Structure 1
């Protein structure tokens, strides 16, 4: 029970809130993400102060999660309004915020709020009158729901949304909303462009960096509820007692914020750390080893989420090494976890060196015949497109093709193929493009979002994962605008129906304030940025034109790698007659993996649209485009348009210099200069190569590449980040 007498525990939150408000203004380096809580303009402060005088959270003294909510609200309101609410055990007047479940509060019970449909994580935020006093209630069925509701209330303040008649009901449409960290035990990060891993494995579990708590806060604020700590190209040592103790220490930090820990499991771990001679999933000794390992993990981490597995892909071990299927491998692990409530997320990113079929078809061919064979605590985790996180891909044909199996979306947040941390590329439009794509698997309206949220086929287990762009850089992601991709992933993971533009607007207000010019220009920059990258890297449906290994810079000429599907020439197939990958019936027939209505559209040169034209069709250079240009002219036009947009982004940002703090403005300006330079490099190198293949003259008015093709081909980058 709360006491009416202030104790030290009551005073400390106020002190920290005031300290935060006093010090935050001195440094804007991006560390605070969307938890900046910078003072609102005077009108905003005056608007909210009467409504946020008192904070009532029954039970916060005895609950780590409720205590975290209390501290966040005191900190947030204090920073935004310059005046912290009093914290009390009961409502004493107008302007209260009551945060409680029905079990904790008679006032919530008496209000008879419609909570039944909100599940374990949903919440209500409502204007309410209690015993004649006007205030706001955040109500939920669980403390996790209250946590998300508390962060939503702060988001309302940050975006200057009125609380006068507030009535919000929200619940997540996806159960598992995870970050996948591709972090290694030596603190390197595969495809990481923001410095070392934030997990200090060497000093864990003894040293708990405060950054771990801030990580949990930032994720909870956008609804993320799980994290896979280690790389999908996993080390078996992640499952040894020494490293499990380290994972358990992180789990203890994350738990009050509703975040569960998961681990990538190496399939051959029974051999590598268990002393067995085989990892065959049908071997009784192997099954016992995994059962014992699961028991060991859950003793340390009672709420452990489960395993993520990359198997029989890119050289990783798996069940096919023993003549077993992906389903047999996944089910063996799932049965070890099931008594504890854990899940297996089995990645569908597979392709084989000795398979001559189109790489875009291989995952579908491997997994769709297994539909219905996976245990009920297995999810198949599928990348958004059929190749590999390209700047633009069609949606993966597996979505809608496995009605008996829960499919989990895998997006990439780190921009492996979209300019690393350097280029401004807001990924919200790409996520939206995929989630809203109609698979037509069960008729019109069978969107990818409806597949993964369980509504199309009635699946209980649902989820989405994002390959994290987080590192030890002070701003977490290598640039301020990269933070927006983490943010939009979390917001769309909570509700895939949200729009990319609305989320961008929300993020700008939280990140830079409410100045109309900043909002207008920033929104225009963000919404144009991803298409710009597509234009100067992989226009018209081209894909995988990046240089070898590190994927930094253009390499459309690369053709000598060991595996055919690693070579850019495999994907664009350019010759003197034309360019593009024929995936129609006359080619690889990849279109046949889609529902008939989608297949018909993709197979039609006229209906497929310019954005995916060369993904599905090999066309002559003089093919007439809808623009009136021929294909060669259109290709050059797209490259030129991408460079022009990069220049525009740079110019637009300069217009905001007086409205953005110096540190964040300067770093962003420098990165935009890098983007302009590299966009031109991409354009010039690609045009030089395709011109050498096609023998075509440049369209009138289009500039020659700055250097010869040989110059671009000789560029080497052995120490590119994220290798």
Structure 2
């Protein structure tokens, strides 16, 4: 009897373990007992993965994987593919093994979504050859702007101990078309290029290779001085150049398909070529020459802002546009989507379109540094689609995203934040996809295909990013976050000795006359960096889109908006609307309870309640502060403040750039948490 009881308990634990709903399975949740018929005459690391995925998860007709060399498949490129029904079989075709891997995941996605697969005729080609996640992970296991625990990469255990999550990570990326990863922070340690660490990197590269994922590394420009003991890192010094060539040769001897380097130089204290009176092009080209024989590339970041009298929004353009055409062809300049720093809403960076003779790539931020960390729901595909509304996808050469992935069970710190990892991959593959289509894919694979769930949830997800903009920084306000960690409002922030462009007042410019940064021809003239038609539109307070109004103009408090309301009343109502939206999200989620497992339901409900409380905090802090300048009353239809400004101004969250706040740290129900004077 005791033995039977023990066996029953063992089976119960085993079954519950298999079906644990902790979010760890992401969108790859299909039953793995299919034992499908899959035909493939060839074998390789990549093809074997494609076959294994189909054999384990495909439940339809027999599948055949075939390599083609006809004109149609050649035109689809190395990673493109076809999926076609042929009699009783389904044929996956491509010119390469990688294309067949992506075709396999596409077919499985259709099955998971419950799509009609009776008569398939699909042709796919990725928009970009490089679709890359950038990890801001440090060698000590912390993640800069990471809100899902510590780094996936357990450097202290490698190369001897290998986590099963490394392959799970590669599989998830491959399933959405991501084909590259930067393992470490752009604020790079030179130690990353040491022989000991390269041996660790080799292990990861070997795991990722069967999933068609190349490894890249962020490098510190001063590495020759730290590791090579040279007296300089001057890119025109022959000894420096020789050091990089030798280091690149060592890397490729270990990792023959190594992708290349990501470089943050002469930005936020990082060393670079400008330290030696050289240009960014001279620094990038020196590294590019070392990588070129092996097919490697340099991704050189344009995120620069030196202390100057120039508007910070203009600086990347001023520094990089004169270098157009001076970079080698295996250099790609990586430009953030907006001209400041991943704000909840920004106009696109004017560098796009201004460097016609230089390959450019866009850098998005998947991790929510400025959108409530992993506490707030903010589905970001609509933000990225806004960028593509202004920048034609075919004018850039690659897409990168700063990852939101850590070692927490659900990978992203919030089950709903997984949608942003998924959406980044899908848009990097095809920027023509709609935000709605992507979120439907994700919802159906991650939760259920029941329309009673997917319909309301699509609506909620699609409204979420705009809600964040409304309760944080509507109408073009930007960078009014708390000092350092960027969680919560601090438009009043004053830090003795800090540069002006590190402080919110530099950006909001609030005074008794009005609000906003004048970037018109009467101000910093940042509008002049845009094409003439847009510059003219942005330059006029009457024609500037209202979502960018306070970005480009200092607007009087009583300025009449398109709604007929004053700027002040319109501002108040945007904050109110954002708050109402977050409360509606809580209600919608309550209605989804019958369709979601208890574990994920409760975890998401807790996050949504934090967001709703934070929206009150943001609304009260910003409106009470700006009211000290406007001297105008709140509109009658706007909820009265819950908090007092004096107490809100004393809130100091005890978190760093590597953490997210917990509920007990945050204002709620009219109560202010413990604060430091």
Q: So what's the TM-score if we normalise by structure 1?
A: 0.88
**Matched ranges for 1:625-704 at <5 A:** 625-704=561-640
What secondary structure does 1:639 align onto?
helix
Given the alignment, which residue of 358, 370, 373 partners 2:326?
373
**Matched ranges for 1:44-443 at <5 A:** 54-60=37-43, 63-77=44-58, 81=59, 95-102=61-68, 114-129=72-87, 134-353=88-307, 355-437=308-390
1:490 maps onto 2:444 in alignment = no
Deviates more, 1:26-35 or 1:145-154: 26-35
**Which blocks of at least 5 consecutive residues in structure 2 are unaligned?**
1-11, 660-677
Report the Cα offset of residue 56 of structure 1: 1.0
User: 1:332 and 1:23 mapped to 2: Cα distance?
Assistant: 55
Report the Cα offset of residue 118 of structure 1: 1.2
User: 1:553 and 1:150 mapped to 2: Cα distance?
Assistant: 43
1:539 maps onto 2:483 in alignment = no
**Which blocks of at least 5 consecutive residues in structure 1 are unaligned?**
1-18, 40-44, 86-94, 104-111, 438-446, 453-461
Given the alignment, which residue of 449, 465, 470 partners 1:514?
449
**Kept in 2: contact 1:552–1:720 (CA 8 A):** no
**Kept in 2: contact 1:399–1:407 (CA 8 A):** yes
**Kept in 1: contact 2:339–2:348 (CA 8 A):** yes
Report the Cα offset of residue 29 of structure 1: 1.1
**Kept in 2: contact 1:198–1:472 (CA 8 A):** yes
Match of 1:6 in 2: none
Given the alignment, which residue of 556, 563, 585 partners 2:499?
563
Encode CA deviations 1:88-126: one digit per residue, 9 max, x unaligned: xxxxxxx321012138xxxxxxxx683121111011000
1:464 maps onto 2:399 in alignment = yes
Deviates more, 1:63-72 or 1:575-584: 63-72
Encode CA deviations 1:563-584: one digit per residue, 9 max, x unaligned: 1111000000000110000100
What secondary structure does 2:72 align onto?
coil
Encode CA deviations 1:399-430: one digit per residue, 9 max, x unaligned: 00000000001000000000100000000000
User: 2:494 and 2:324 mapped to 1: Cα distance?
Assistant: 36
1:480 maps onto 2:415 in alignment = yes
Report the Cα offset of residue 673 of structure 1: 0.4
User: 1:597 and 1:563 mapped to 2: Cα distance?
Assistant: 34
**Kept in 2: contact 1:193–1:721 (CA 8 A):** no
User: 2:542 and 2:41 mapped to 1: Cα distance?
Assistant: 62
User: 1:22 and 1:154 mapped to 2: Cα distance?
Assistant: 24
Report the Cα offset of residue 605 of structure 1: 1.7
What secondary structure does 1:346 align onto?
strand
Encode CA deviations 1:621-642: one digit per residue, 9 max, x unaligned: 0000111110000000000000
**Kept in 2: contact 1:400–1:448 (CA 8 A):** no
**Kept in 2: contact 1:56–1:98 (CA 8 A):** yes
Encode CA deviations 1:424-482: one digit per residue, 9 max, x unaligned: 00000000000121xxxxxxxxx331211xxxxxxxxx211000000001000011110
Encode CA deviations 1:217-257: one digit per residue, 9 max, x unaligned: 00000000000000000000000000011111100000000
Report the Cα offset of residue 292 of structure 1: 0.5
Match of 1:42 in 2: none
Which ranges of 4 or more aligned residues in structure 1 deviate by more than 3 Å? Answer: 21-25
What secondary structure does 1:464 align onto?
strand
Encode CA deviations 1:131-162: one digit per residue, 9 max, x unaligned: xxx21000111100000000000001011111
User: 1:528 and 1:246 mapped to 2: Cα distance?
Assistant: 42
Given the alignment, which residue of 498, 508, 516 partners 1:580?
516
Report the Cα offset of residue 25 of structure 1: 6.0
CA separation of 1:122/1:291 partners in 2, compared to 1, >3 Å: closer, same or farther? same
CA separation of 1:721/1:346 partners in 2, compared to 1, >3 Å: closer, same or farther? closer
User: 2:290 and 2:584 mapped to 1: Cα distance?
Assistant: 55
**Kept in 1: contact 2:36–2:56 (CA 8 A):** no
User: 1:285 and 1:53 mapped to 2: Cα distance?
Assistant: 57
Match of 1:32 in 2: 25
Q: CA RMSD in A?
A: 1.8
Match of 2:393 in 1: 449
Report the Cα offset of residue 496 of structure 1: 1.1
**Kept in 1: contact 2:273–2:282 (CA 8 A):** yes
User: 2:113 and 2:283 mapped to 1: Cα distance?
Assistant: 47
Report the Cα offset of residue 24 of structure 1: 7.2
Report the Cα offset of residue 214 of structure 1: 0.5
CA separation of 1:520/1:215 partners in 2, compared to 1, >3 Å: closer, same or farther? same
Encode CA deviations 1:491-545: one digit per residue, 9 max, x unaligned: 0000111111110111111111111111111101100000000000011000001
Report the Cα offset of residue 193 of structure 1: 0.1
User: 1:701 and 1:720 mapped to 2: Cα distance?
Assistant: 37
User: 1:504 and 1:348 mapped to 2: Cα distance?
Assistant: 31
Report the Cα offset of residue 718 of structure 1: 2.7
What secondary structure does 1:125 align onto?
strand
Match of 1:440 in 2: none
**Kept in 2: contact 1:399–1:448 (CA 8 A):** no
User: 2:68 and 2:530 mapped to 1: Cα distance?
Assistant: 47
CA separation of 1:127/1:24 partners in 2, compared to 1, >3 Å: closer, same or farther? farther
What secondary structure does 1:700 align onto?
coil
User: 1:257 and 1:309 mapped to 2: Cα distance?
Assistant: 25
Q: So what's the TM-score if we normalise by structure 2?
A: 0.93
